A and B are shown apart, each in its own frame.
Chain A
């Protein structure tokens, strides 16, 4: 991610467009030049590297592009260290100790440095250099892992898009039908970053996910902007969505129209941004992948889809593991519960009750102690299925047929 002053964007009719670097020969050349500059600075002072970068900047109107790229190289691909066996702090304390005998004066400088040098077995010039060798500017570039020029460009583009969200106070994602196993990951990330999600819609018309945080209720706050920015790379793993974010305008910039009340940032899954977060795993348990395998062996005319449906409930969302689609297009949802704690099951059934949906089958492993654990499921009747060991797809389909009839369009 980039600091605010390195963000580049245009605003057209309230719509924010972050800067995008395409892999043109010119841009590729620029990234290569920067990567080379870093590489040739290995073992040298950070200040020297910065001076060289300044030289590259000189006369360029797009110097902030260069700085942004350099920022990514310096923070994500480099390591800076003092690079000295003698601790500069101890040199300082030696020098300052010795200098106390007299009022400080530039005239006595040489003599003091020579005196310290003699006790430490070094030259006065070395002492001079060591004095503040631990300052950031004087630290040495000790490691540099060069990225591919194109990877650097995509990283830059993503960082610019993320930066647009720093000032976001709400974010709405319209999700179209998706590939498996992505929504769960998405919700995991929203939880991780302390965000709240409101889900509306259904599988046919598409879903709307509104994201903000607890205090957003009392008025637009940009407090969750950073969390939304960090969340964006996770969203990029989900296919088929459109994003709209409401932003607080940057009033500190001269070219910004002071009359602007709100800006909008829009993005879709087809805009070509690339995530650097690891890909989510397809299956979260062997139970589900086993079921999927057995289902396919069955050769049934039903189609099995994984985690494509969101079931909105007041104050939350359920993502059933499977959707069973009948050849005529109607469908039933299936949730498989492998290992469970009573509180978990109680909550799950409570959520299902609140959703008001009657087309969800819940398969629970081991019925033992269900009653004793205080999990009442009477009102779910046929829609609860208990199994031991493996879940037989035939049993599920047998349950699914009548549910189709009941929920029929």
Chain B
């Protein structure tokens, strides 16, 4: 009777089932998976190629300019020092790879996430449909995302970026939806009363007024991308996750520390630069008045 609790004898052959299902999926839907993978791969390779080929001095100048424009000269200097430090720690190349992965992932998050957020803002049914999915995505540990991605896209940097895109997408969808819904209803009503079409209302009124909120979502998406890109080293993605992963595996704590430190520094720079996106010039004007 107690025999049924002998787990060694009674194993659900889940592994075989799943493997079979995945084989079948990949075998029959290869073009579809390629269609997802191809643009990601092209974007990633393009950005990575540029970042690797650009001389560090040019990169630092551009970084300073962007940080200055979006935030302040202080953040610009902070960014330059941080990247210099990463370089002197021997992590320049890895930092560039990680940055390329983050940028590619974020590009796709924006391309897909903002339109989804807009649809969500216009349709309660769509929200009812995606909210549980977004909730599930947000509560799932980052690590677990790697499983289905590896099953469908195998391993490597591109697969890592795909996992990152899925992982980092929820905030931008949520905050685009929220930002548009938060726009004051009397302003929208006024636009309507002057004969604006739904599209005109969206682009002339709702979207510009939601922009600070959407930018806050972008900031979150960027930070989540960075954390995922590093974890993706587990499935063979390149970048700053690699020294951490290798260092821990081979007990080279120094190497792991350098990798970890570089990640933290990169995170701080990206956060500083993009945080200010949420506080647009218009809002500053408003506060002054």
Q: Does A associate with B in a complex?
A: no
Binding site for B on A (CB under 8 A): none
